[in-house]
Amino acid sequence: MRWQGRRGSRNIEDRRGQRRVGRAAGGVGGLGLVAVLLIGYLLGIDVTPLLQEGTLGGGDTYQTAEITEADRQAGEFVSVTLADTEEVWSEIFRSELGEAYTPATLVLFKGATQSPCGGANGASGPFYCPADKKAYLDTDFFVTMSRQLGAGGDFAAAYVVAHEIAYHVQNELGILGQANRIRQQVSQGESNAISVRIELQADCLSGIWARYAQARFGSIEEGDLAEAINAAKQIGDDTLQRNAGRRPNPHTFTHGTSEQRQRWFATGYKAAKIEACDTFGTNNL
């Protein structure tokens, strides 16, 4: 992926200079956090109390965190990728909807931080919080993707950023809020099914971004799309459950199968239109 030398975003909130200490000592650390999270995710257990050993509240203490050269480069990469999403979605909103696009803020952190949607930590993975319209990312997740999930490459990392920003696009379109309101009123199985449609639409919107990024910035190199498709495959519900030694159970899926995630990303890339990403209006997910 060609990204060096291009402008970064001003909508980066960098919290990596501080990290939470104190009660976290003796807990699970490093890549082991991801293993704990995956177990909780697959079993439907909230593991946040185990990971945080308390809430990220007033009793916590912080110390200065070291920003390594790898951290610095990862931050620059995320900033450029975020800037690309801002340009792309501003153009799409203007041309397709006749509206202005309001960019999201992306919070970079190391270890743990706070959000209105709950405590964020290195195990939780990237997420978007509609309450403050911010995406949260510990860039160590890129290392986890490569080493633990078999989804390496800079464009795979860019896909992660684009996917989180896709939630913000859904939020700006009013889709995310409506879907989440319905999820609170239905059964767990129905809620899971709606979650799958949210995720697959975000994959499709990520594909649109990739198509525009190629046309506008010429940033995609040979093999980049394959990295994104592979990343989508490795984080499919069925693949994650198989890798955890379990038989895939579709009733528990909340993100979609590997095949679905790959196909909807490809759909967005080929069509490059928001209307092509209507995962809520089709029976063929």
What b-and-e string marks burial along 135-153, b requiring 16 or more CB atoms within 10 Å of the CB? bbbbbbbbbbbeeebebbb
CA dist 268 and 229 (Å) reads 12
Mean pLDDT of the chain: 83
171 pLDDT more than 80: yes
Task: For residue 16, give the nearest of 53, 68, 60, 52 by alpha carbon.
Answer: 68
What is the SS3 assignment for 232?
helix
| pLDDT-based confidence at residue 161 (cuts at 50, 70, 90) | very high
Given a contact cutoff of 8 angstroms between Cβ atoms, the answer to whether 157 and 77 are in contact is yes
Half-sphere exposure of 103 (CA within 13 A, CB side): 19
pLDDT at position 54: 37
Task: For residue 142, give the nearest of 75, 65, 233, 238 by alpha carbon.
Answer: 75
What b-and-e string marks burial along 42-70, b requiring 16 or more CB atoms within 10 Å of the CB? beeeebbeebbeeebeeebeeeebeeeee
Task: For residue 137, give the nearest of 167, 171, 102, 112 by alpha carbon.
Answer: 112
Half-sphere exposure of 252 (CA within 13 A, CB side): 15
**64 phi and psi, to 5 degrees?**
-65, 130
What is the SS3 assignment for 32?
helix
State what percent of residues in the chain have pLDDT above 90.
Answer: 49
Q: Which residue has the tokens 């950023």?
A: 161
Could you give the C-alpha distances from 169 to 86, 100, 146, 220, 247, in angstroms and in order?
Answer: 10, 12, 27, 22, 34
198-216 pLDDT, tens digit each = 999 999 999 999 999 988 8
236-247 pLDDT, tens digit each = 889 888 888 999
Q: What is the mean pLDDT of residues 130-151?
A: 86
Q: What is the pTM for the complete model shown?
A: 0.82
CA dist 61 and 233 (Å) reads 39
